[in-house]
Structure 1
Amino acid sequence: MEVSATPFREMAPNRRAEDLSLAAEAILLAVRLGGVRAAVGAYWMLRIAALALRFDPPVSHLPQILTPDGSIEWALRQIPLTRERAIAESEIRRGEYLSANEGFYAPVGGEVTLTGEVAFSALQDVELVLSALPWVCSHVKDKEIESEIRSWLEIKGDL
């Protein structure tokens, strides 16, 4: 998906907008159908929005969700925890790591067998979305969104 929309590929400007819009639609559909976790969709939406910012001249007629404000606003809605709950979950995880014995960790040099489905915690999803916010946050115009970004990024180091 990202390769066909790369700014270094020669294509007509209207085709760029179409490809980027298609990428956004695919992400929205995958999240809506449950094919990917919402946080993964948010990560990729921010990645595509950041890619759109790299074009010179700028891509016109992009959907709102691919603008810096639109992509971040949508991504923030995909965060599964409040800031307070994310900090609390992080403290629980830190305590589990500090009190873990050898059975907690995978054996070094040995085989690892995963039983059942691998689950991702809500905290991991928060961290995934926060890792992508800096790609577009400097381009945000809405002061409320900017304030919300700042609030999340301020706790990122505590997670």
Structure 2
Amino acid sequence: MSVESDLREIRSIPVHGISDWICRRFPDGSFPQWWLAIFESLETSLSSLLDVVSSRRGHDFEVSVEVVSLAVAIGDIRPPMGAYWMLRLAAIALRYDPPVADLPEVVTPGGAAEWALNRMPVSREQEIADSKIRKAEHLAAREGYYAPVGRVLPASGEVDVRFSALQDVELILSALPWISSAVTNGKVSRDVAAWLEIRDQL
């Protein structure tokens, strides 16, 4: 089955049945590439330039929220990547005038921002500290620190957790500005501003 046919099936069933459909379709789990292809197709279908009835818009947002949430809950997509896509959905919703009726709370500006901030892998203080270490290691690196050009190296399977977390935070921070000015919840707005303030230090 293609991504297009999978998406048609997903959109044809009740939102509460998507989880069961995913489990039947991929009993051993799916690949992140499949999920990302589904996310991208859903994003395209939500374009405000398409002539679609308003009830269909609301349903498409519900489906998109369910799919992103499931991908994270199942563990096929890292939480920060899910947060990035939830912010993208919220940014799309902001473009509608009039607004989409019955929009899921998690893709309102405040809902998406809070959902994303709750999936930050480290604190702001830790992010700044790890960023300084990364910069220092890069500045002190000698030739052997980098992979040689033109030669394939065997995969070690080792992941630098600190720097992976840095990249995850940077991914979320790249999307937060899309909705930050529309966040009306005072506490969430302050938290967003505090995170965005450290971007230049990373």
How many pairs align?
158
User: Equivalent of 1:59, from 87, 100, 115?
Assistant: 100
What is the correspondence of 1:114-153 to structure 2 with a 5 Å cutoff? 115-117=155-157, 119=159, 121-153=164-196
Residue 107 of structure 1, CA deviation: 3.2
Higher relative contact order (CA 8 A, sep 6+): 1
TM-score (normalised: structure 1): 0.94
Residue 117 of structure 1, CA deviation: 4.3
Between structure 1 and structure 2, the one with the greater Rg is 2
Give CA-to-partner distance per residue, 1:117-150, whole Å, 9 cap, x none.
4746111111111111000011010111111011
Give CA-to-partner distance per residue, 1:85-134, whole Å, 9 cap, x none.
000100110111011111222334x1444504474611111111111100
Cα pair distance change 1:145/1:102, threshold 3 Å: same
Report sequence identity in percent: 49
Cα pair distance change 1:66/1:114, threshold 3 Å: farther
Please list every run of at least 4 consecutive aligned residues from structure 1 whose deviation after the TM superposition is greater than 6 angstroms.
none
User: Equivalent of 2:124, from 78, 83, 90?
Assistant: 83
Give CA-to-partner distance per residue, 1:35-85, whole Å, 9 cap, x none.
111000000000011001111221010111010000000000000100100
The residue number in structure 1 matching 2:51 is 10
Distance, in Å, in 2 between the alignment partners of 1:82 and 1:158 is 14
TM-score (normalised: structure 2): 0.74
Cα pair distance change 1:113/1:85, threshold 3 Å: same
Distance, in Å, in 2 between the alignment partners of 1:18 and 1:71 is 18
Residue 10 of structure 1, CA deviation: 1.1
Distance, in Å, in 1 between the alignment partners of 2:152 and 2:82 is 28
What is the correspondence of 1:92-103 to structure 2 with a 5 Å cutoff? 92-103=133-144
**Residue type of the alignment partner of 1:115:** A
**Gap regions ≥5 residues in structure 1:** none
